[in-house]
Amino acid sequence: MMGEERAQRGEEAEEGAQIAPDATQSAEDQARGEEVAETAPILQEGAQIASDPAQMGEGQAHSGEEGAQIAPDAAQTGEAPTGPLFSNPPGGFFIWFLVVLELGTFGIGLAAFGFSARGDLEGYGAGSQQLNATYGLINTIFLLTSGWLMAESVRHHQLKNFALARRTVLGAAVGGLLFMGLKGWEYAEKFQADQFLGSSPFFTWYWLLTGFHVMHVLVGLVILWLLAARAERIAPDSYEAGGVYWHMCDIIWLLLYPVLYLIL
Amino acid sequence: MNNHVVYGLLLALTGLSYGIAEGLVPAGLTVSLVMGLACVKFLLVTSRFMHLRAAHRVWKIVVSGFAVVFSAIFALML
């Protein structure tokens, strides 16, 4: 019996020895847990600032500076692998990366147009005179109105007023459709007047630049339709990303319009 | 400045650009003024409608810098 008791105690002692490191580990875990508990409210605060702008006023909805400052702490804890540069842009990193890429693409195209025009100011000027600047003005008003409605839609969506968000995004889509309608009318006129790709250097550039822009507007209209159809189910950041894409179509047109219609 | 004010400003600047191009100012100033106004409209849309003002300064510099450099190049080139 004694031998059995000793053997049992010996097993318990061994077990205790095995448990001891675990106990040390659990103490470390506890200490880490306390650290995490201390940082959790800060992270939560940051997350609230970053993800729920609807609870703030209109002007503050996108300030997000505080949340951005907290983000590196989150990255250090391993919970958020991204820093403020990547997490901060309203709508997310990827939509802004796309905006920069598109601006670069259109910028290169317009710069090439400019250098080409510089070598033949008379020819390009004559081409530009063939365009109806009033069509360009009306289309600019359509896109600006559409962009304003889109900005209102994003604001209403962040305030969780989905009915108004849907109504305004549909208004933005109507603005886009009106733009497409007038652009189609203008294209038809140019086509009938044999002012198509290859008819002159100016019109080659005109069709390439505006055609590329029209393709973006078409994609934007599909995005607006999706935003309207699923307003309640789309996260605020994704909704804003859709808005950023639509505004990108605006800002590209804001550069195309004066270059093609006004200054030559 | 709320979205309605920005929208009103954008419309006013668009009308002004059109007027300048139609001969409101001497021809030598047209390109600089029209491109300058296009740059201002670009910055208004990006900062107010696209909320670029809330983004990291790298994004602000890249996007705003593009508009400024682009407009300046055209104003100087043509």
Can you spell out the DSSP letters for A229-256? HTGGGS-HHHHHHHHHHHHHHHHHHHHH
DSSP letter, residue A108: H
Q: Is the ipTM of this complex over 0.90?
A: yes
- Residue A84's pLDDT is what? 56
Which residue's entry shows tokens 């309605």? B4
The model carries a pTM of 0.75
Q: Which of B50, B64, B70, B78 to mutate to test the interface with A (most CBs of A within 10 A)?
A: B50
> How far apart are the CA of B39 and the nearest CA of chain A, in angstroms?
8
The model's pLDDT over A17-61, given as tens digits with 9 standing for 90+, comes to 444 444 444 444 444 444 444 444 433 444 443 444 444 444 444
* Chain B touched by A155 (CB under 8 Å): yes
- Residue B75's pLDDT is what? 83
User: Cα angle at A110 between A115 and B56, to 5 degrees?
Assistant: 125
- Residue A83's pLDDT is what? 53
The model's pLDDT over A133-172, given as tens digits with 9 standing for 90+, comes to 999 999 999 999 999 999 999 999 999 999 999 999 999 9
Please name the residue of chain B whose CA is at the shortest distance from the CA of residue A146: B7
User: Which residues of chain B make contact with A152, given a CB cutoff of 8 A?
Assistant: 3
Q: Structure tokens of B71?
A: 């407009």
Mean pLDDT confidence for A65-77: 40
CA distance A157 to A166: 8
Q: Structure tokens of B50?
A: 């696209």
What is the rounded average pLDDT for all residues in chain B? 91
User: Which residues of chain B make contact with A96, given a CB cutoff of 8 A?
Assistant: 55, 59, 63
Confidence of residue A86 (pLDDT cuts 50, 70, 90): low
Cross-chain residue pair B74–A263, CB shorter than 8 Å: yes
Cross-chain residue pair B56–A115, CB shorter than 8 Å: no
Q: Structure tokens of A202?
A: 């100016």
Kindly provide the residue ranges of all beta strands, DSSP E only, lying in B1-78, ordered along the sequence: none
